[in-house]
Amino acid sequence: MADPSSQFGSLDRAFMQAIALEGLAREKYFAELAAVNPDLAARVAALLAADAMQDTDSGIRGEDALVAVRSSAGVGGDAGILTGRKIGGFEIGPLIGQGGSGAVYAARQLRPARDVAFKSLRPEMAGTRARKRFELEAEHMALLSHPNIAKVIAAGFDDDARVSWIAVEFVSGAKSIVRRCMEGGLPLHQRLELLRTACEAVASAHAKGVLHRDLKPSNLLVDDAGVVKVIDFGLARALATPDGRSVATETGEIVGTLLYMSPEQCTGDPRAIDVRSDVFALGAVLYELITDKQPRIFDGIPLHAAILSVSDRDVPVPSRSNPTVSRDLDAIVAMACARDPRSRYGSAQELADDLARVIHGEPVHARAPGAWRKLQWWIRREPKLAAAVGATALLTVAFAVVSGWIAVEKSNESYRAAEISRRVYDQLVPAARKLGITQDAPYIREIDEAAYELSKLVNGEAHEVSADLALKLAFDWLKGVGHDSARSESWAKLAESSASALPSLGPASKTALEARCVQTWAFAQAVAEARVLDPALVRQSRQRYVDLLPIIEARDDVDQASDCLGALGEFAEEDGDYASAANYYQRAVKRSTRIKGESAELVVQTRSYLVDALRKQERWDDALRELEELLTIQREHERGFSPWTIRFAMQRGEVLARLGRHHEAELQLVEAEILVRDRIGPSHGMRNRVRYTLRQVLAAQGRSEEAERDWSDVALAPQR
């Protein structure tokens, strides 16, 4: 009889099979593997955890981790060899820590004289590209100027020792935040104050687009003076070997990280990780500070089971371990450590603010995820079943509302009937979105149409609720699955007619003007969808925008005015009139900024169109100014890794190259290449665009050979 474990093959084969799977498929694969070969499952689980945290070099998921497993010479095999050397103006002292990726030494900077922590990368990791990324990461860390974040002092590469190194602020007498609190017997309010300070430091780094991704007590230090210092910000990634030993493949070290790791960090997808992953880790540390117990227990279970359990089990309620813990702190831990990232605090600063409220005896904002939050989590795990159940529930509610109206009509309770129709609009329609079912679903239109018919029967066609529902249907038919421009225009005309006939609204009302906007969009869409474009209809479509603009641009309550300006900008671009296009986009940006604020996504998107128009006019200085402002806004609002931010980073590098600022362009393009690879995908076409520009920049500096060697095109994945 064949060995059942043979279906999984070697470590290489099992790992590559696992890395190709996502979500429930990966969990099922792991369960089958663990049943027949627990040891192999544990080794694969360790590689997956490492891969999720690493900075891959090959562009092939998991390949670097396997290479390292085959060639690793053991943890810290050559650590300690730098003691006594002088490197980069630092005199290296005794070894104070080590791991699979490198070592940490006590050192002394010669000028100015001061103690530092000297971190070195293992020599076998010091290839050209690894060095560049290591140094770029150090530059990013140097931007983090905060009194509670250990400062990066210098970084470089030593040709004699063949090591990349980073010198970091030395934390005198440092102890982990948990150890300091326990050994010092600190009262609750002092413990909360220390963690609140750490949260604010983390929030400061997030605002500049830098994640930590390995927050735990040993990376939250408290010095002799009681000052908190967050260490290794980003260095866990910069120092990672391909097998991830900065988070450690040694069982004890992996478990040490798993104790505080967020569920999404075990998925193997780095794009799932954002600021809320760090919030989870801070919440897990808070649990330990207020209970003197670790947030998770992995005793007696194999490693792969420990990794899988991270996504399946909640962090316990603190008061169950320590009855003196208040309900407010229970709620804070539950919200910070919610398995669903969308149920957590949106930022580390929000967590810090709630801790401050507890310290000052004020009500907190945290609420433990209730039944509704758990329903949302289930919906995301079982989307098809949830959609079916949600649709059935909504149709049942709609039927109940209609039945209720009939009963009301029979008893001549006209006021109650009007109230029901208003609730249909205010409650039933938004309920569809709350269940995660978008207006793309055709049956949502059916519910909307049933609601409109109910309102028409109760209130008549010329009524505010009827007009609002008709306008919503006009929007619904304009986009999504099975959209119909003709139906959209028909409903928009009905909405305008209903609103215009009402003394309380009138033809100049928000509803009437938005209905005119939708008619314009629907007509333009119908023209664009025609197989044979009629030039007369195209001109008529554009003229509708021109006629509508003076009426709605001055109205802050008509959301579509900015869209109208954007459409006119697109028309101008089609005609090659980039100056007029830029003018329209600038007006749209100014208007949307006034109404929604500079950080609104609509404003950011419109400014991106403006950048494109400026680039087409070769107004490079103006384009650079826009891009730098956009990058600042995105990072200040914790959108440092969004697709828009990555696009702006790439464009900034291209514009700097156009301006002849080649060194700055190189740094920006290297950063953009890493962001595209890690956040969008290693085989995305944008990555080749960045690399092409980078080769041009290096060639302009007389470095053509290096350009072709290190930045050749990425082999794109086959299109499905």
Q: SS3 of 516, please?
A: helix
Q: What is the spatial distance between Cα 69 and Cα 59, in angstroms, rounded to a whole number? A: 17
Measured between its terminal Cα atoms, the distance across the chain in Å is 39
Contact 600, 634 (CB under 8 A): no
Which helix (H) or strand (E) element contains residue 109? Answer: strand 102-109
Q: What is the spatial distance between Cα 91 and Cα 106, in angstroms, rounded to a whole number? A: 9
Q: What is the spatial distance between Cα 651 and Cα 672, in angstroms, rounded to a whole number? A: 9
Contact 652, 668 (CB under 8 A): yes
Q: What is the spatial distance between Cα 138 and Cα 451, in angstroms, rounded to a whole number? A: 58
Structure-block tokens of residue 163: 């090591």
Cα within 13 Å of Cα(290), Cβ side: 28
Task: Indicate the burial class of 8 (C-beta count within 10 angstroms; 0-12, 13-18, 19 or more).
Answer: buried
Which helix (H) or strand (E) element contains residue 194? Answer: helix 188-207
- Among the listed residues 214, 353, 563, 678, the single catalytic one is 214
The yes-or-no answer on residue 55 being catalytic is no
Q: How many CB atoms lie within 10 A of CB 163?
A: 24
Contacts of 103 (CB under 8 A, 6+ apart): 76, 79, 80, 82, 95, 97, 119, 120
Q: What is the spatial distance between Cα 497 and Cα 506, in angstroms, rounded to a whole number? A: 9
Amino acid at position 485, single letter = S
Contacts of 197 (CB under 8 A, 6+ apart): 148, 228
In 3D space, the residue among 702, 696, 634 whose CA is nearest the CA of residue 665 turns out to be 696
Structure-block tokens of residue 256: 């040490």
Q: How far, rounded to the nearest angstrom, does the alpha carbon of residue 53 sit from its chain's CA centroid? A: 15
Contact 40, 233 (CB under 8 A): no
Contact 487, 475 (CB under 8 A): no
Task: Indicate the burial class of 273 (C-beta count within 10 angstroms; 0-12, 13-18, 19 or more).
Answer: buried
* Cα dihedral 625/630/632/636 (nearest 10): 160
Q: SS3 of 16, please?
A: helix
Structure-block tokens of residue 588: 């749209």
Contacts of 696 (CB under 8 A, 6+ apart): 657, 707
Q: How many CB atoms lie within 10 A of CB 575?
A: 11
Contacts of 46 (CB under 8 A, 6+ apart): 249, 251, 254, 303
Do the strands 102-109 and 114-121 form a parallel or antiparallel pair, or are they unpaired? Answer: antiparallel
CA triplet 106, 111, 114: central angle to 5 degrees? 40
Print the SS3 string covering 482-506: CCCHHHHHHHHHHHHHHHHCCCCCC
Amino acid at position 280, single letter = F
Contact 206, 350 (CB under 8 A): no
Contact 249, 68 (CB under 8 A): no
Catalytic residue positions, numbered? 214
